[in-house]
Structure 1
Amino acid sequence: MDTLELIEKENYTIVQMNRGKVNAINYEMVKELGEVFKKLEDDPDVMGVILSGQPHYFSAGLDLIELYQYDKEQIQQFFTAFGALYLQLVQFKKPFISAITGHSPAGGCVLAVTSDNRFMADGEAYVIGLNEVAVNIQISQNLTEIYAFWMGDGLAHRYILEGKLLSGKEALDAGLVDELVPLDQVFERSERQMKHYMKADQEILINTKKKLRKRLWDKLDLNAENALQEASVLWWKPEIRAKMKAYLESFTNKNKK
């Protein structure tokens, strides 16, 4: 694997995103995450999964620099695959924890909100949130449902429309993350929670998770291609392309300084 590293524990696995220091999400990472989580869900010896990032970054979100270069077929494939990955993770039947090792905006947040617990590094600079509106990417109905699942309809409505990125404290208050812990303790806290789950009868745990998520699952559009069709169409809107190009140029120029 080129974008992930697996750390096998006694009865659970840590999946560490490892694509540069910011873990920007491209098509390759999406496909590898899907393949790995499928294998781990089917493996009877793996009872739970922790998804983690690099120090200071869980994931900075979609790799807009690479995605901007995709043609129409490639961007359709990407959004379909990303929508399928979201549906796969949100329906993952085993205990699933996100060890949020720093920033987790947009696509990073998409991955994190599918998990059962989110332990986030405490730091004033770290942010998390679905800020798709602010970066001119169409959010799917499926994503609005899980945001509301964790923080309630009112806050989800306001924060999504605003394209708001939340500080750790704001995310904690909203119910988007479970706890804030020092960066060097994010793994330890996540593993401690996983070991707690491992003490339970696994059939009971899986059945209970299924019951807790039933109302969320019932609201989801399970056709990944349909779910993100709007995003792939609006991606090519001239005004959006112009804004994205300007953003990428400013970002590239800033990194050159």
Structure 2
Amino acid sequence: MGEFVRLEVDGGIGTIRLERPPVNAINDQVQAELGEAAREAGERADVRAVILYGGEKTFCGGADVKEMAARSYAEMRTFGAALQGTVAAVAAIPKPTVAAITGYALGGGLELALAADRRIAGDNVKVGQPEILLGIIPGAGGTQRLARLVGPSKAKDLVFTGRFAKAEEALSLGIVDELVAPDDVYAAAHKWAAQFANGPAVALANAKAAIDGGLDGDLASGLKLETYLFTALWATQDQENGMRSFIENGPGKATFEGK
């Protein structure tokens, strides 16, 4: 358990909780602890789904600007590579992940949220990539994941202007997938994650790998990847359990007992 980031596991749900008041700004230590928590969540068999959560007040205000301003070019190359690697480690968690967004998700905070499979936010949140206002650009995946999610034109508007998008706009753009009352954010994220607590872990990991991996190449390459991951499941307990339940219980009534 880190000083600012910890992984809490309960009932198959792992919550990666950021706790560096007042806005969970990401410094070297937060970056390192976040990466460690992501890797642990990915490896633990008792974690079937993951929630990213910054607490009731704010998700993450981004990288620690005061620390960045004092860094040299060489130091920032090291930190930038490490931060991008950490966010990539979150994206690579082979389990369903959901960001529970409260308050603000800005800069590196939005980039962290974009690494999740789903984003549930309070209806008072503000999100954005304001790096341009500091004379820099997003450096932890914001120019890439945001453009893939909302399209290049909309991503350029947000990145070029550095403006904040309020909750309803974030929903309409597709940056967040669901809006709830601020006090209900974590509960809504937990409800989404809980449906996978006893699910087919290997099949879910393969589904995520197929979708994410397919986006990195052309259709033909994606289809080859899908075929490989599809047929590989015949060597797993997931396929045996799922099909046996379907045969015994019929369509719409099948249940899955994960292993």
TM over 0.5: yes
One-letter code aligned to 1:55: E
Instruction: Tell whether the 8 Å contact from 2:35 to 2:87 is kept in structure 1 after alignment.
Output: no
* TM-score normalised to structure 1 length: 0.78
Instruction: Tell whether the 8 Å contact from 1:4 to 1:32 is kept in structure 2 after alignment.
Output: yes
Question: Distance between the aligned counterparts of 1:83 and 1:36, measured in 2?
Answer: 15
One-letter code aligned to 2:27: N
In the other structure, the counterpart of 1:208 is 207
In the other structure, the counterpart of 1:85 is 86
One-letter code aligned to 2:137: Q
Gaps of 5+ in 2: 219-259
| Deviations 1:124-176, CA, capped at 9 Å, x for gaps | xx310222222222234943221122212321222222222210111000000
- Give the root-mean-square deviation of aligned CA atoms: 1.9
Gaps of 5+ in 1: 220-257
Instruction: Tell whether the 8 Å contact from 1:145 to 1:216 is kept in structure 2 after alignment.
Output: no
1:173–1:63 Cα change, 3 Å: same
Question: Distance between the aligned counterparts of 1:157 and 1:218, measured in 2?
Answer: 22
In the other structure, the counterpart of 1:192 is 191
- The aligned length equals 217
Instruction: Tell whether the 8 Å contact from 1:22 to 1:54 is kept in structure 2 after alignment.
Output: no
One-letter code aligned to 2:168: K
Q: How many angstroms does 1:95 deviate by?
A: 0.9
Question: Distance between the aligned counterparts of 1:216 and 1:140, measured in 2?
Answer: 20
| Deviations 1:83-114, CA, capped at 9 Å, x for gaps | 11122222222111101121111111010000
Instruction: Tell whether the 8 Å contact from 2:41 to 2:93 is kept in structure 1 after alignment.
Output: no
Instruction: Tell whether the 8 Å contact from 1:86 to 1:110 is kept in structure 2 after alignment.
Output: yes
Larger RCO: Structure 1 or Structure 2 (Cα < 8 Å, ≥ 6 residues apart)? 1
Question: Distance between the aligned counterparts of 1:141 and 1:9, measured in 2?
Answer: 29
Confirm or deny that 1:37 pairs with 2:33. Answer: no
1:19–1:86 Cα change, 3 Å: same
Question: Distance between the aligned counterparts of 1:104 and 1:203, measured in 2?
Answer: 31
Instruction: Tell whether the 8 Å contact from 2:98 to 2:118 is kept in structure 1 after alignment.
Output: yes
Answer with 1 or 2: which has the greater Rg: 2
**SS of residue matched to 2:196:** helix
1:73–1:154 Cα change, 3 Å: closer
Between the aligned residues of both structures, percent identity stands at 27
One-letter code aligned to 1:211: A
In the other structure, the counterpart of 2:98 is 97
